[in-house]
Amino acid sequence: MRQIVLDTETTGLDPAQGHRIIEIGGVELLDRRLTRRHFHRYVNPGREVEAGAFEVHGISNDFLADKPPFAQVAREFVEFVRGAELIIHNAPFDIGFLDNELGLLGAEWGRMGDLCTVIDTLALARARHPGQKNRLDDLCRRYAVDNSQRELHGALLDAEILAEVYLELIGARQASLVLVEEMAISLGSARRAAAQRPILLPPRLTDEEALAHREFVATLGEEPVWRHYAA
C-alpha cells in the first residue's frame, strides 16, 4: 500500500477568494513504513500573502518572489501522488486548494479525486477522541510525538509529524511492536514450553496491604470472583 502524507501552506483561507498554495510537502509511506521519498516545493502564488496567514507559517512575499508558479511544479506533483492514498489533516481544506490549482491549469488536469483516494486524519481523530481537541499539536501531545521544532507551520515538517501521528492514530506502531515481539519468540523458543521458576517470587504485598484487600473483598458479597484472589 502506497500512501502520501501531505500538507500545504497558503496565502489565506479560501481559494474562492483568490487565495493560492505557496508550499506543498509530502512524505511517502509504503506498507505504513516511511521511505526516503518526499516531495517539497515552494510556489509563487502571484498574489500577496495575507498577514494572518504569514503569522501562521512565516512565509513572506519576498521569500516567494523567485519561486516557480504552480504550473511549473504541477506535473512533478501529480506524478508523485498519482495512485496513492493521501493522508491529510483537515483534508477538505488542502484538497480544495489543490483542486483549485489544477482547475486553473485547465479541465484536462482533472481533480485530486481522479488521482488519489483521501483519508482525513482530523475525521479519524474526532471519531477516536470525541469531544476532545484534535488539532495536530493536540494529537502530538496525546501520542507523545515530538513537535518541538514546530514553532511555525511548514508543509514538509507538518507532513513528517502527521505521518508519525497517523501511525499512532491507527495503532500501526503498537502492531509493529507486537509483531517484533512475536517474531522474537518464534525464532527463539516458540517450540519450547516456558520453564517454571525453581523458586517462586516472594509476594510484593505487605501484611497490612493483604489484610486490607481481604477486608475489601469481604464487602463484595458471597461469591465474588475476587474472593479467589483474597489469600
pLDDT tens-digit map of 163-190 = 999 999 999 765 444 444 444 444 444 4
pLDDT at 203: 62
3-state secondary structure of 82: coil
Burial 177-200 (b: 16+ CB within 10 A, else e): eeeeeeeeeeeeeeeeeeeeeeee
Other Cβ atoms within 10 Å of 86 Cβ, number: 21
Region for 31 from its dihedrals, namely left if φ exceeds 0, alpha if ψ lies in -120 to 50, beta otherwise: left
Query: What domains are there in the chain, each with its CATH number?
Result: 2-173 (3.30.420.10)
Region of poorest pLDDT, from 73-87, 139-153, 160-174, 194-208: 194-208
Q: How far apart are CA 160 and CA 27, in angstroms?
A: 6
Candidates 57, 89, 153, 213; catalytic one? 153
Higher pLDDT, 125 or 175: 125
* Tens digits of residue pLDDT in 6-48: 999 999 999 999 999 999 999 999 999 999 999 999 999 999 9
pLDDT at 150: 75
pTM listed for this prediction: 0.74
19 is catalytic: no
pLDDT at 79: 98
Q: How far apart are CA 77 and CA 25, in angstroms?
A: 10
Q: How far apart are CA 76 and CA 225, in angstroms?
A: 64
